[in-house]
Amino acid sequence: QPGMMSFAGRDVDSRTTEVFIVMPDTSQAQLDYFGVNSWETPFGYVTGTLHDTALNFFAPTGDLPPLGDGPDPHKIYLNDGYEYLAAEFPGLDYINYCFLPWEREKTEEL
- Distance, in Å, from the CA atom of 40 to the CA atom of 58, rounded to the nearest integer, reads 22
pLDDT number for residue 110: 52
pLDDT at 24: 78
**Whole-number Cα distances in Å, 17 to 44, 77, 106:** 14, 11, 23
Report the C-alpha gap between 8 and 30 in whole angstroms: 14
| pLDDT per position as a tens digit, 57-88 | 766 556 777 777 888 888 887 778 889 989 99
DSSP-assigned beta bridge partners for residue 45: 4
Distance CA 4, CA 8 (A): 12
Model pTM score: 0.57
